[in-house]
Structure 1
Amino acid sequence: MVAESPDKPMIQLRRLYRNFGATQAVHDISFEVAAGQVFGYIGPNGAGKTTSMRILATLDIPSYGDALVDGFSVINDPDRVRQRLGFMPDSFGTYPDMNCIEYLDFFARSYGILGRNRTKALRHTLSYTGLDKIAEKPIRGLSKGMRQRLCLGRAMIHDPAVLILDEPANGLDPRARIELRHMIRGLAADGKTLLVSSHILTELGEMCDAIGIIERGQLIVSGSVAEIKAKLRPHIDVLVQLLGGGERLEGWLENVAEVSHIQASDRTVRFQLGAPDPIRQVQLLKAIVDAEFQVLEFSTESRSLEDVFLQITTGAVQ
């Protein structure tokens, strides 16, 4: 498959609404995901993530607005959308008496993949998901991690340009989550566009190019993790470890314009630096060393995605 232009939006939500009676599950959501990006979709239970993902997968229709995959509308061109999209739901049906290769072959045939192309697609999918060595194992004997790999294989069997993954790491052990993360980044490196929802925020922070946080059906914020952190907290926390003289450094830092909230002991000084530019950090460290403070460590304490999520959301449900 030829990689799409990195500037081309492969996923577009345009003022999307979905109402269920008086409940607005999705309320005026708009965002784009460019080709080759991994976009993390974050929100508490009942926020509207799955509803909007189902609309993208043509399994539901919006009350208002539209969603596009590779430029095709889920309302006007659902067949073209399905050709270009693979959907991995948070729970999926299996046929326990089938084995892995029979299951994937069934879906390959459903997509109209014929002859040698189907054999090639099966071989590639089994190899990529690591199921090739257990291809003939009955599905009922698979572990949770292997079942998730099988579901990913089902979503990618027809080589779609866009993949929608709803809670793919749910219930996986740490090794299985790491391996899944590598597979997702590998798919993005091949030019595929991925929209991934998860409650495991550390996973999303490590593998996503951008994120969107949704609550009560509304998109609260979107952008890269670094951009969102900078917007919410335009300063960084700095830790300086010394051989001694922390109180003296505290007095010295009080004369530095960008420094505030200083906390010091004899060997440790913490403060906030209002200039998050790395060059300014280097300049400040050099100035501290030039002032003959004996520095053992100068480090910034980054804010986790969990911290961002807790600051932005309120925990309200619909």
Structure 2
Amino acid sequence: MNVRHPSERSALKIIEHRHYGRWFSALVVLLLLGFFASSVANNPNFEWDVVLQNLTEDSILSGVMMTIKLTCISVLLGFAGGTVLAFMRLSANPVLAWVSWVYIWFFRAVPMLVQLFLWYNIATLYPKLSLTLPFYGEIWSVKTNQLISPFSAAVIALVMHQSAYAAEIIRAGIQSVSIGQLEAAKALGYRPSQIFRRTVLPQAMRAILPPAGNEVIGQLKTTAVVSVIALQDVLYSAQIIYQRTYEVVPLLLVATAWYLLMTSVLSIGQYYVEAFYSRGNVPDKQKWFRFKSKKIESSS
């Protein structure tokens, strides 16, 4: 075996390998993107002046606020309900575990649009909601149509739909923590609440956050279905305008631009939250999937 002397090893020169294929493929992609951008910018059928004119129109801004409101309410309540369902699913009580499984199975199986229509038309099944006490009679009642408005129907459908998916995300995150971590925490004398707060939650969040971030972004786009029950979100606002002006494509581009903006904000927030909970897990300077091959040549 040929072993180099330390003085010879110090004379080795590291030369970075030149990846010509990478530069060529990058050039091809940039050229294609340039052709596409030029086509979009110079096509008069897009009517960019109409897009800019309606981008900050009052009804569009009201629709944006409604979309944000529905997203915030459904995500907060959905993940709160999903947390309860996840703990029920992991419970040793077979009744709680079974009820949670059935709930998740049903609301993941039924399409969101069908759920929305069911809640919007719940008055056909229950025309009146009432509270009755034994031996006393009815103490409260209200017509269902007065209680279930388009907004409340949308919130109920979105929350129940979201909680089913959130439950599976949270359950998977909790189960990703090894049993050895729990046993070590018990050996240190931690109480169950301390075990969850200090051992399970920090580690589970690393597994929960990426799919949870995707779920929040998906929920933002899912709110577009409320336009079918005439609830004025950003898509319905755009539809109202183009039904009057017949400028369909420009108004759809307005809705698209707002969805892109809101999704981008959520994506940036997801990135920083994930970075916060990933501290100490991956070295700061370590970059994944960006390896540079190098070859070593000895100097003559």
TM-score w.r.t. length of structure 1: 0.22
Structure whose alpha-carbon radius of gyration is higher: 2
Flag the structure with more relative contact order, 1 or 2, with Cα contacts below 8 A and sequence separation at least 6: 2
